[in-house]
């Protein structure tokens, strides 16, 4: 009898701990990047911790977004593999530019902040805010949303955030109209387009248009929120 019980118990324990590992809660923790002779770039970022198969996908996407956010002038950041390489490139590019110009130039600057806007068992919405100044009259602030499926680590396309994207788009247009005081400032005043950046938040669904996306620089970032009591019928993820 004992001979049969022990193997069965071992199988049960292995199954239990395997399932526990697969359902391990994904957490986001602050991280930093230390690069010698860096005086121009400040990054406050986060990385996912937990199930490695899931978090490795999420962290690759976050790192790629950080590298892209550096927006180093006249360089191809696609070849970069690490954030540290991007920081070093930004500094070296500025140093070369400053030496070439041979006159007083304002220091370039990059500030990047990454935060969790919303997290449930199945979904995490991440905001990556970057301010980049590379000379000229002003810098540029850009905000990028990333929505992750926490059961797989995959990015979620905007349309897959909803069960009925077309109906949600109609709802979004009504809120857009309420938030835009002067439609004449838009590039296409009579043509409503959904933004590239949509995310869940604690209060509702956030829609955001970056500078130059639908309007000139003077208009700035356009952002509005649709509360959950209005958006709930169209959501693919439970926000409760």
Domain ranges of the chain: 23-156, 157-240
Q: Span 83-88, mean pLDDT?
A: 94
Range of lowest pLDDT (10-14, 109-113, 186-190, 191-195): 10-14
The predicted pLDDT at position 137 comes to 83
Q: Which of 75, 103, 104 minimizes the C-alpha distance to 91? A: 75
Please determine, for residue 151, whether its predicted confidence score (pLDDT) is greater than 90.
yes
Range of lowest pLDDT (75-79, 125-129, 195-199): 75-79
The predicted pLDDT at position 240 comes to 64
Q: Which of 197, 194, 186 minimizes the C-alpha distance to 155? A: 197
Question: Do 23-156 and 157-240 fold alike per CATH?
Answer: no
What is 23-156's CATH superfamily?
A: Fervidobacterium nodosum Rt17-B1 like (3.30.565.40)
Q: What is the CATH number of domain 157-240?
A: 3.90.640.20
Please determine, for residue 20, whether its predicted confidence score (pLDDT) is greater than 70.
no
- Mean pLDDT of the chain, nearest integer: 88
pLDDT band of 10, cuts 50, 70, 90: low
Burial classification of residue 169, based on how many CB atoms lie within 10 Å of its CB (0-12 exposed, 13-18 middle, 19 or more buried): middle
d(C-alpha 239, C-alpha 154), whole Å: 19
The predicted pLDDT at position 179 comes to 86
% residues pLDDT > 70 (the chain): 88
Q: Span 76-93, mean pLDDT?
A: 88
Q: Span 75-88, mean pLDDT?
A: 85
The predicted pLDDT at position 4 comes to 53
The predicted pLDDT at position 110 comes to 95
CB half-sphere exposure, 227, CA atoms < 13 A: 2
Q: Span 151-173, mean pLDDT?
A: 97
Range of lowest pLDDT (5-19, 144-158, 199-213): 5-19
Does pTM surpass 0.75? yes
The predicted pLDDT at position 135 comes to 84
* Residues 6+ positions from 45 with CB-CB distance below 8 Å: 30, 31, 32, 33, 62, 66, 83, 112, 113, 114
The predicted pLDDT at position 82 comes to 92
Edge-to-edge strand order for the sheet containing 27-31? 27-31, 41-49, 109-119, 123-133, 140-149
Please determine, for residue 73, whether its predicted confidence score (pLDDT) is greater than 80.
no
């Amino acid at each position: 009898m004992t001979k049969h019980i022990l193997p069965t118990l071992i199988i049960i324990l292995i199954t239990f701990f395997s399932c526990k590992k697969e359902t391990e809660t994904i957490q986001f923790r602050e991280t930093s990047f230390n690069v010698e002779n860096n005086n121009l770039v400040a990054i406050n970022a986060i990385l996912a911790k937990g199930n490695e198969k899931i978090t490795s996908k999420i962290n690759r996407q976050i790192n790629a977004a950080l590298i892209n956010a550096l927006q180093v002038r006249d360089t191809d950041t696609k070849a970069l593999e690490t954030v540290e390489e991007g920081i070093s490139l930004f500094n070296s590019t500025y140093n070369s530019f400053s030496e070439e110009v041979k006159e007083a130039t304002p220091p370039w600057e990059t500030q990047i902040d990454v935060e969790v806007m919303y997290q449930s068992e199945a979904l995490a919405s991440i905001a990556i805010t970057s301010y980049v100044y590379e000379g000229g009259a002003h810098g540029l602030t850009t905000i990028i949303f990333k929505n992750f499926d926490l059961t797989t680590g995959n990015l979620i396309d905007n349309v897959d955030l909803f069960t009925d994207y077309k109906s949600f788009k109609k709802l979004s247009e009504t809120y857009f109209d309420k938030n835009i005081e002067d439609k004449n400032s838009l590039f296409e005043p009579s043509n409503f387009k959904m933004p590239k950046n949509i995310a869940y938040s604690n209060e509702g669904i956030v829609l955001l248009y970056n500078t130059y996306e639908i309007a000139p620089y003077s208009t700035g970032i356009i952002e509005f929120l649709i509360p959950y009591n209005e958006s709930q019928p169209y959501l693919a993820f439970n926000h409760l």
